A = this chain, B = another copy of it.
Amino acid sequence: VPKVTQEHVDARRAEILEGARQAFAKYGYEGATVARLEEATGLSRGAIFHYFRGKKDLFSAVAVDVNRRYIGLMTTGGLAEALRALATEDPALVAVLIETQLRLRRDEDFVQRMEETMREVAPAFETWFEDQRASGAFRTDLEWPHLARFATIVTNGLALRVGTGDETDVETVVQLLDDALRPQPERGAVRKRRGARA
């Protein structure tokens, strides 16, 4: 199938990304052998590596894709919606987020590749959080990055849990996260801090 249209190329790329996403999600980065990628995409090595330089590149593309998708979900439907989607709709999406974080710890040039993407979506992130603070939905005693960070932490922690078989009640997690982020009553006045509480 030579000399094809741009649509065809895009479609193929998307096709491969989709299959790769499933494979990475199911087996993890190392476990997603090229053979499994072939199987998942229904394409041959030749085809896959014609579109992506190598496995690492392919994974980067998947990671970028997934992260973008998840952030889009959040800025559209809110944290609750994003967490629900995370936990129920698309388990594949989840695992890739984790792998992403893990690789960020060890793979130097992967870090750089992701940083670009993150810089790109960061503004939307900020806007959304500031809006939430402005509308009174989120607390204002902490800067937005702290809130964002916490939300991310919970997201990743939840993602890590999902699929373990342990049925996690997402709604409760949503509620607890919400309770942490919403405006708080004045501390210290109501409660007295004591020993080993938290």
Taking beta carbons and an 8 Å cutoff, which residues of A are in contact with B?
2, 27-28, 30-31, 46, 76-81, 95, 98, 101-102, 104-106, 111, 132, 135-138, 142, 146-147, 149-150, 152-158, 160-161, 163-165, 168-169, 172-185, 191, 194-198
- Report which of B27, B80, B104, B161 forms a contact with A101, defined as CB distance below 8 A: B161
Report A115 CB to chain B, min CB distance, Å. Answer: 10
In the complex, chain B residues whose CB is within 8 Å of the CB of A101: 160-161, 164
Q: Which of B2, B149, B156, B191 contacts A173 (CB 8 A)?
A: B149
B30 contacts A136, CB within 8 Å? Answer: no
Q: Which residues of B contact A194 (CB under 8 A)?
A: 135, 137
Q: Are B198 and A164 in contact (CB under 8 A)?
A: no
Q: How many copies does the complex hold?
A: 4
Q: How far is the CB of A175 from chain B (nearest CB, A)?
A: 8
Which among A111, A137, A196 has the highest number of chain B CB atoms within 10 Å?
A196
Which residues of chain B have C-beta atoms less than 8 A from A28's C-beta?
A: 102, 106
Q: Are B146 and A169 in contact (CB under 8 A)?
A: yes
- Given A30-B30, A81-B196, A173:B157 Cβ within 8 A: no
Contact A198 B156 (CB under 8 A): no
CA distance A179 to B104 in the complex (A): 29
Contact yes or no, B80 A198, CB < 8 A: yes
Cross-chain contact A156 with B160 (CB below 8 angstroms): yes
Contact status of A191 and B136, CB under 8 A, knowing A81-B196, A146-B172, A153-B154: yes
Say whether B172 contacts A198, CB under 8 Å.
no
List residues of chain B with CB within 8 A of the CB of A198. Answer: 78-80, 132, 137-138, 174, 177-178, 181-182
Cβ B164 vs Cβ A104 within 8 A: yes
18 contacts between A and B (CB under 8 A): A27-B106, A28-B106, A31-B106, A78-B195, A79-B198, A80-B197, A81-B196, A135-B194, A142-B172, A142-B175, A147-B176, A149-B169, A150-B176, A153-B157, A153-B160, A155-B157, A156-B156, A179-B179
